[in-house]
Structure 1
Amino acid sequence: MDINDIRSLFTVLVFAAFIGVWIWAWSDKRRQAFDEAANLPFADDDTPLAADKQKESGHE
């Protein structure tokens, strides 16, 4: 077994790992978790910046 065989085997293993991660990411079991993660930036509507604007305008 020479270095080219090892490189070929490594390439095939990395490709198989890539396909495995791709299938895991697109599986229906993970959809809800990924949807929740995608909405995390919008979860906290009461930011300090918004509270400061309300104080400045007198709407507390």
Structure 2
Amino acid sequence: MLFDFIDIGMVRGIGTALVLIAFTCVTLWAYSGKRAKAFDDAANLPFADEPKKQASRNETP
């Protein structure tokens, strides 16, 4: 048969290697400097619908 050399250990090893590669790629993507602005904007989305605070006369700019 063509796949006689593949056993469950090899399948698990290949699966582990693929998950490790995917994890590394996602981690590098998330921490890349090019994504910082987009992540900062996304982090501030919960506050986007709040009205702007107007300075009162007692507060100095």
Give 5+ residue unaligned stretches, structure 2. Answer: 1-5, 52-61
2:43 paired residue number: 38
Cα RMSD of the aligned pairs, angstroms, is: 0.8
Q: One-letter code of the match for 1:15? A: L
Distance between the aligned counterparts of 1:9 and 1:45, measured in 2? 49
Task: Please say if 1:24 is aligned against 2:29.
Answer: yes
Structure number having the greater helix percentage: 1
Aligned residues: 46
Percent of aligned pairs with the same amino acid: 54
Match of 1:8 in 2: 13
Q: Which runs of 4+ in 1 moved over 2 A?
A: none
Unmatched 5+ stretches in structure 1: 47-60
1:45 Cα deviation from its structure 2 partner: 1.0
